[in-house]
Structure 1
Amino acid sequence: MFQDYDSDSDPTRHPPRLAALRRELAARDLDGFLVPRADAHQGEYVADRDARLAWLTGFTGSAGFCIVAPDRAGVFIDGRYRVQVKAEVDTSTFTPVPWPEVKPAAWLRDALPEGGRIGYDPWLHTRAEIRILEQGLTGSGIALIAVEHNPVDAIWPDQPEPPAGAVRLWPDAVAGESAADKRARIAAGLRAAGQRAAVLTLPDSLSWLLNIRGADVPRNPVVQGFAIIEDNGHVAVFANPAKFDAEVRAALGNAVSVLPPEALIPALTNLSGPVRVDPASAPDQVFTLIESMNTPIAEGPDPVILPKAQKNPAEVAGMREAHLLDGAAATELLHWLDARAPQLDEQPLTEIDVAEKLEELRRARGILDISFDTIAATGPHAAIPHYHVSRASDLRILPGQVLLVDSGGQYAMGTTDITRTLPMGPVDAAVRRPYTRVLQGMIAVSRVQFPQGVAGCHIDALARAPLWSEGMDYDHGTGHGVGAGLSVHEGPVRISRISEIPLAPGMILSNEPGYYREGAFGIRIENLIVVEPREGADGRAMLGFETLTFAPIDRRLIDPALLSQDERDWLDAYHAEVWQKIAPLVTVEARDWLFLATRPLGGVA
């Protein structure tokens, strides 16, 4: 049930930790240090051992970093966390910095105008990241210094041990392809490119390639480790061998070697090239080790990342099945909340109550875990896009507030992610207009047909256009890739202004425009969608989206006068499908409620 990851966050602890870090840096002849959110695998969720940014600053968001200088410490956060960071860090000690508007190099030039030595852990930053920073610092006199031992670890007395979650097999029937066939496919691609091997640093790439799943980090069933795949299909995995039992080892076979983590460095310095390494995801240190032996490096994308993103028919079928189970759980929650709304004065309800109830409903339908920490946010908390409720922040839900619930589950056949926004009793009429504009953006993405070669950056504007017409916008992407029984946030494909990767059949993304009014309310509506082939005029090959998520969209916040007939028709057809698919899976009471919740929009008063 609910885990309060923030219960240890006493803001008075962080200034002394910063002071201790500065003393450690001075002892190493360093003027500053980069503290990223990421671990060596660039994961969004990190193990407790790797939560250096949270330990030092108190900031718990899933993206960001801190730069410590002699007289200032900046916590760099994007638009999703501008409100959250002010609530979590001691702003008299750490200064929130809007990023990417303020570039790290520009900040460092201002902080160290006479030059200086800035340390960084080369295992925690990608080669691309370091290159960009070096370019920005050209001519400044500021030197970037790779450190051998992380100074944050040196001052963290009770730093947790590395994770050691057991590895389990992911059935071939659900994967749609055996691990041997996947290895052969990736190896063939390496041979075609004239490359002898590739270094894999992303845990979801390793897990997908070998049809295994793990329990090393919260919510993401990945196996933490590095791997090297050779052009003959052999794979060497560098991870704690104790995680792999006899059944898993037997299934992996003789073509997969499991070696301890300390064997990685000798392996990297003994490779024959060219070796493919991804500068966007591989640690800077991986490049340095290979370069130290003058081994040729072929820079390029992780060879697994696109095959993993393009789900095969078995994976899509598993995701459809998971979403039916999840839609039933979400529907039961919406029914439960609707029944509780009139009683909020007499029977108090809090954000944690909602998160716990939803997890209970999902566990009744067989989830292995939730796919991320549930965002149950009422009133002003809903205006924080990635709000995470804790015992300290838990708010009572008040009559007339807007409640936003963003959540998902890890099932035995797939991964889900859904957001619904609903009124807890009569709400201010001012909410209806932005809610309807958000809904129109979500519908526009759901309905769009587009030619091959179109990328997420082209689709993104469709979701925003209704909001733009009102002078509104939101500071997050419209959609992220989603793994099949893997990470709920999966690269490289996105619906975003900066995503130039062409969409292709089988790619699964979220469709989640939003609107946030700080201190008042937040709105987000999210379904998952999968890219599918369509036939256009004159036989032209086109693409479109199939919706995977089925749960009612609250119609009480809609201003029907703003919707076109096509938008009304889409919503009515969607709700008819929700009724048809979900009604058989819920209780009689929830079914009666669902019948009313999915009736045609024309029936709304």
Structure 2
Amino acid sequence: MRQTFDETTDRSFGPRHVPLIRQAMAEQGLDGLLVPHEDEHQNEYLPAANDRLAWATGFTGSAGAAVILKDKAAVFVDGRYALQVRDQVDTGLFEIRDLVEGGVPAYLETAAGKGQKIGYDPRLHSPDALAHLQAAAARAGAELRPVTPNPLDKAWGEARPPQPVAPVAPHPLEYAGEESSAKRARIGGALAGGADAAVLTAPASIAWLFNVRGGDVIRSPLPLAQAILNRDGTARLFLDPQKVTPDLPAWLGNQVRLETPEDLPAALGDLRGKKVVVDPAQSSAWYFEALAAAGAEVVRAEDPCTLPRACKNAVEVEGARKAHARDGAALSRFLHWLATEGQTNPPDEITAVSKLEAFREATGALKDLSFDTIAGAASNGAIVHYRPTQRLNKRAEPGSLLLIDSGAQYLDGTTDVTRTVAIGEPSAEMRERFTLVLKGHLALARVRFPAGTTGTHLDALARMALWAHGLDYDHGTGHGVGSYLGVHEGPQRIAKAPNTVALRPGMILSNEPGYYKEGAYGIRIENLQVVTPPEAIPGGERPMLGFETLTLAPIDRRLVAVDLLTSEERAQLDAYHTRVLAVVGPQVEPEVRAWLEHACAPV
């Protein structure tokens, strides 16, 4: 689980691997190849065997794409990775393009030649994304052609790592809170459009539905598998036999038929004449094509597990509370270290990351990190989702800020927390900007809202104080978080971008406004919070939902300009710190407890 800091790729990957890919393309009569970041399961984080984009280009970010043509190539990333891509990719070979503004379709329109045949692997593209790409290629007079095998896989050859075969183990009821059979009956009986079955390809849905966890995907306890859920709650689970632990068949029960991935094509053929739900955002075009060829009626609808999985039951919510109390103690020990040794001998980013992970490991309950820790000192903190490497590592200096965004995976919950800490004496500007971010964070934590409210409706609350000063940030304010699953979970989110999913009790989201001054420093304050059931407000007419904050760790009071806070905000911050001290204080050593009492003192 130890985080590594030397990249697994380097700038020579493109010059060494692209010629091999082009040779394999030519052997299949292709003039180009699309290389998405996504794998066969549309994962955000990938096992090494499926990280085709990294092998082709050297780029290791969690979002991106590439197009390799006979005489040119381009790699596409979003703004989070503007620095990283130029550090990892040979810019003499690859043109660097924006993934969001125009992206691959715009590139195909101008770069693809008339009559060219550009290959794509139908297992790696969602049908909707593929339709946009096909239309763009057609406008250029080119043709997208499905290919088997993938020329990149052929070029990778024997050097390609083996597919992961981590054991799949039961996730006990004391953590899951509901039997798999009950979930299957509930979800199967409510399939969209009166469908007979649903094809599930998202690892998180499979882990949740069958109450199992695996280890095929880095930073997430997920098994790579597929499943067919029938309307009556019975299911077929397609799992590599090497992953099947001795107690798994009995755990799944006789209503679940264990099969191998090689059995999947024939199983899809068995759905002839049936109505089958498939999620176009979660499943690749290959499934739609296979079902259509089999004579099934495809119902394009959201993965039926997505929304129920997001609404945590009482056991999962209580598990999240316990996980955050444990994690808060580890994080408080780290913040104490930063406030003592870290002030007299400021650490570099890698030292800070390693120290924090060691405190989490010392709990004895850590299963993994929930993502690679983001530690940005001074100007690196202004790079959203920056991740330290040996080449980019920077030491914190007096008068600077250190931003630490980290999380952990425990059996009872997944955490994600960001704290920004002053090293030495912060400037007046730092304190002002930090307090504006804090005001937005507090506003989003205390809001009450009626049923039907979406994260889009709430997003402005986190930005209003910044907007009043002509400031803003360019990332979302909150993402969903799983229960010992992925740290990024839909369908709920809080962001400017429109989202039609209403917030419901049990949903866990992050609350993470920020501010970033390019070349100087970054600020982000992040807690996780769970949506609470509707309650009546005295004198009110409608019950209102709200949030319960889960994360428990002090916020650096040295960065708070108290005169910018209202009396309500000061009382809210003091109440939060009182709770942190009450829950975390008894777990830590006397010297940490003494520091925590000071760190949590009223503002």
TM-score range for the pair, normalised by the shorter chain length:
over 0.9
Q: Which moved more, 1:308-317 or 1:483-492?
A: 483-492
Change (3 A) 1:8 1:46: closer
Contact 2:5–2:350 (Cα < 8 Å) also in 1: no
Could you list the per-position Cα deviations for residues 94-122 of structure 1 after superposition, in whole angstroms to 9, with x for gaps in the alignment?
22222312232222111125353222111
Aligned to 1:456: 455
Could you list the per-position Cα deviations for residues 185-218 of structure 1 after superposition, in whole angstroms to 9, with x for gaps in the alignment?
111113x742111000100100000110001111
Q: Which moved more, 1:159-168 or 1:550-559?
A: 550-559
Q: Secondary structure, in 3 states, of the residue corresponding to 2:357?
A: helix
Once the 2 structures are TM-superposed, how far is the Cα of residue 309 of structure 1 from its aligned partner? 0.4
Could you list the per-position Cα deviations for residues 442-499 of structure 1 after superposition, in whole angstroms to 9, with x for gaps in the alignment?
1121111112111111222222222222332222211111001111111221112232
CA distance in structure 1 between the partners assigned to 2:75 and 2:430 by the alignment:
32
CA distance in structure 1 between the partners assigned to 2:450 and 2:580 by the alignment:
28
CA distance in structure 2 between the partners assigned to 1:89 and 1:68 by the alignment:
14
Contact 1:167–1:214 (Cα < 8 Å) also in 2: yes
What is the letter of the counterpart of residue 524 of structure 1?
Answer: R
Contact 1:277–1:297 (Cα < 8 Å) also in 2: yes
Aligned to 1:349: 347
Aligned to 1:392: 391
Once the 2 structures are TM-superposed, how far is the Cα of residue 83 of structure 1 from its aligned partner? 2.7
One of 598, 601, 604 as aligned partner of 2:600: 598
Contact 2:378–2:521 (Cα < 8 Å) also in 1: yes
Contact 1:7–1:392 (Cα < 8 Å) also in 2: no
Q: Secondary structure, in 3 states, of the residue corresponding to 2:398?
A: coil
Q: Is residue 544 from structure 1 mapped to residue 546 from structure 2 by the alignment?
A: yes
Could you list the per-position Cα deviations for residues 141-175 of structure 1 after superposition, in whole angstroms to 9, with x for gaps in the alignment?
22221111111111114110000001111111221
Could you list the per-position Cα deviations for residues 561-602 of structure 1 after superposition, in whole angstroms to 9, with x for gaps in the alignment?
32222222211111111111111111111111111111111x
Structure 1 segment 430-469 matched on structure 2, within 5 A: 430-469=429-468
Aligned to 1:556: 558
Show structure 1 runs of 5+ residues with no match.
none
What is the letter of the counterpart of residue 464 of structure 1?
Answer: R
Question: What count of residue pairs does the alignment treat as equivalent?
Answer: 597
Once the 2 structures are TM-superposed, how far is the Cα of residue 305 of structure 1 from its aligned partner? 0.6
Contact 1:4–1:391 (Cα < 8 Å) also in 2: no
CA distance in structure 1 between the partners assigned to 2:504 and 2:236 by the alignment:
30
Once the 2 structures are TM-superposed, how far is the Cα of residue 136 of structure 1 from its aligned partner? 4.3
Q: Secondary structure, in 3 states, of the residue corresponding to 2:557?
A: coil
Once the 2 structures are TM-superposed, how far is the Cα of residue 5 of structure 1 from its aligned partner? 6.1
CA distance in structure 1 between the partners assigned to 2:565 and 2:84 by the alignment:
33
Contact 1:456–1:496 (Cα < 8 Å) also in 2: yes
Structure 1 segment 512-527 matched on structure 2, within 5 A: 512-527=512-527
TM-score, structure 1 as length reference:
0.95
Q: Secondary structure, in 3 states, of the residue corresponding to 1:543?
A: strand
CA distance in structure 2 between the partners assigned to 1:82 and 1:464 by the alignment:
24
CA distance in structure 2 between the partners assigned to 1:163 and 1:229 by the alignment:
24
Aligned to 2:402: 403
Q: Is residue 187 from structure 1 mapped to residue 188 from structure 2 by the alignment?
A: yes
Aligned to 1:326: 327
Q: Secondary structure, in 3 states, of the residue corresponding to 2:320?
A: helix
Change (3 A) 1:10 1:138: closer
What is the letter of the counterpart of residue 278 of structure 1?
Answer: D
Structure 1 segment 39-438 matched on structure 2, within 5 A: 39-112=39-112, 114=114, 116-157=116-157, 158-190=159-191, 193-272=193-272, 273-344=274-345, 349-365=347-363, 366-438=365-437
Q: CA RMSD in A?
A: 1.8
CA distance in structure 2 between the partners assigned to 1:368 and 1:100 by the alignment:
34
What is the letter of the counterpart of residue 507 of structure 1?
Answer: M
Contact 2:119–2:145 (Cα < 8 Å) also in 1: yes
What is the letter of the counterpart of residue 402 of structure 2?
Answer: L
CA distance in structure 1 between the partners assigned to 2:202 and 2:358 by the alignment:
31
CA distance in structure 2 between the partners assigned to 1:288 and 1:44 by the alignment:
23
CA distance in structure 2 between the partners assigned to 1:368 and 1:4 by the alignment:
16
Q: Secondary structure, in 3 states, of the residue corresponding to 1:63?
A: coil
Q: Secondary structure, in 3 states, of the residue corresponding to 2:199?
A: strand
CA distance in structure 2 between the partners assigned to 1:556 and 1:72 by the alignment:
52
Q: Secondary structure, in 3 states, of the residue corresponding to 1:229?
A: strand
CA distance in structure 2 between the partners assigned to 1:357 and 1:342 by the alignment:
15
Q: Secondary structure, in 3 states, of the residue corresponding to 2:189?
A: helix
- Among the aligned pairs, what percent are the same residue? 46
Change (3 A) 1:152 1:472: farther
Contact 1:127–1:279 (Cα < 8 Å) also in 2: yes
Change (3 A) 1:589 1:185: same
CA distance in structure 1 between the partners assigned to 2:437 and 2:122 by the alignment:
41
Aligned to 1:487: 486
What is the letter of the counterpart of residue 354 of structure 2?
Answer: E
TM-score, structure 2 as length reference:
0.95
CA distance in structure 2 between the partners assigned to 1:197 and 1:593 by the alignment:
57
Once the 2 structures are TM-superposed, how far is the Cα of residue 401 of structure 1 from its aligned partner? 2.3
Change (3 A) 1:113 1:155: closer
CA distance in structure 2 between the partners assigned to 1:525 and 1:7 by the alignment:
28
Q: Secondary structure, in 3 states, of the residue corresponding to 1:349?
A: coil
Contact 2:10–2:88 (Cα < 8 Å) also in 1: no
Once the 2 structures are TM-superposed, how far is the Cα of residue 138 of structure 1 from its aligned partner? 5.0
Q: Secondary structure, in 3 states, of the residue corresponding to 1:228?
A: strand
Q: Secondary structure, in 3 states, of the residue corresponding to 1:421?
A: strand
What is the letter of the counterpart of residue 564 of structure 1?
Answer: T
Contact 1:2–1:352 (Cα < 8 Å) also in 2: no
CA distance in structure 2 between the partners assigned to 1:96 and 1:500 by the alignment:
33
CA distance in structure 2 between the partners assigned to 1:338 and 1:377 by the alignment:
17
Change (3 A) 1:101 1:333: same
Q: Secondary structure, in 3 states, of the residue corresponding to 1:529?
A: strand
What is the letter of the counterpart of residue 587 of structure 2?
Answer: L
Q: Secondary structure, in 3 states, of the residue corresponding to 2:560?
A: coil
Change (3 A) 1:230 1:108: same
What is the letter of the counterpart of residue 586 of structure 1?
Answer: V
Contact 1:418–1:528 (Cα < 8 Å) also in 2: yes
Contact 2:109–2:139 (Cα < 8 Å) also in 1: no
CA distance in structure 2 between the partners assigned to 1:401 and 1:13 by the alignment:
36
What is the letter of the counterpart of residue 91 of structure 1?
Answer: T
Change (3 A) 1:12 1:242: closer
Contact 1:35–1:65 (Cα < 8 Å) also in 2: yes
Aligned to 2:536: 535
Contact 1:15–1:93 (Cα < 8 Å) also in 2: yes
Show structure 2 runs of 5+ residues with no match.
none
What is the letter of the counterpart of residue 100 of structure 1?
Answer: V
Q: Secondary structure, in 3 states, of the residue corresponding to 2:339?
A: helix
CA distance in structure 2 between the partners assigned to 1:186 and 1:196 by the alignment:
12
Aligned to 2:590: 588
Contact 1:84–1:384 (Cα < 8 Å) also in 2: no
CA distance in structure 1 between the partners assigned to 2:406 and 2:190 by the alignment:
37
Q: Which moved more, 1:384-393 or 1:228-237?
A: 384-393
CA distance in structure 2 between the partners assigned to 1:316 and 1:150 by the alignment:
43
Q: Secondary structure, in 3 states, of the residue corresponding to 1:189?
A: coil
Q: Which moved more, 1:492-501 or 1:196-205?
A: 492-501
Aligned to 1:571: 573
Contact 2:109–2:136 (Cα < 8 Å) also in 1: no
Contact 1:79–1:476 (Cα < 8 Å) also in 2: no
